[in-house]
Amino acid sequence: MPDEPHDVSRRALLGRLAVAAGGVLASPAFPAAAPAASAGRLKQSVCRWPYDRIPLPEFCRRARKIGLAAIDLLHIDESAAAANCIAGLAKIAPLAAEHRVTICVELLNSRIDHAGYQGDHTAFGAAVVSGVDSPHVKLLYDIYHMQIMEGDVIRTIRGNIERIGHFHTGGVPGRHEINDSQELNYHAIAAAIADLHFQGYVAHEFVPTRPDPFASLTEAFRVCTV
């Protein structure tokens, strides 16, 4: 689930911003209209938090009018993003029910493979699925991605199994074979999932390194046979 903006104005604004280290927005943050005041020899910006009671679009317009060129410490509102995801998925959940399919919202890591992806931790995905409250909207819990972001895989699976509709595997690091060349104990993870009476699929999503990829796939099948 990609980052969801608070509204259309916010989408337009964030499309113009580049996020620098430490949450500082360092690129031109406002519409192209010239500021009312000369910027002088310094590039001046403003920190968002002292003015957080002012709606963001209004704050941007007023700051631009003053002559400020950027906003620091501007973070995407996660609760608003979750609410937008819930609203969108709730509209299509009845169609999924009608066709007897399950929509799975995948959790991905934002540290290595998917920079900027907002659904990068279980709590966010669980909040969305719980908000939709439909048996036809579940999480795709990608074990590879969540090991990178969170660890504590078995405990997290146990605590969220009712919200999970599908699993993906992959060795960490590297997303290769799920044998003892990587840091996860997939046999133990598979046993924990089976103990929870999970009825969905555990799908292998790793990149084989062996000349014969089916040797790796056969090995993965055996590792997860519990």
Q: Which residues are catalytic?
A: 106, 205
Which one, of 220, 133, 147, 221, lies nearest residue 184 by Cα?
147
Q: Give CA–CA dist 144/194, Å, rounded.
A: 18
Query: What are the CA-CA distances from residue 159 to residues 17, 196, 202 (Å)?
Result: 37, 10, 17
Rounded to 10 degrees, the C-alpha dihedral 79/83/84/90 comes to 160
* Sheet containing 164-169, strands listed edge to edge, beginning at the edge strand earlier in sequence: 103-106, 137-142, 164-169, 201-204
Stated as kind and residue range, the H or E segment containing 59 is: helix 56-66
Q: Give CA–CA dist 102/99, Å, rounded.
A: 9
The string of DSSP letters for 107-147 reads ---TTTT-TT-S--SHHHHHHHHHHH--TTEEEEEEHHHHH
DSSP class of residue 56? H
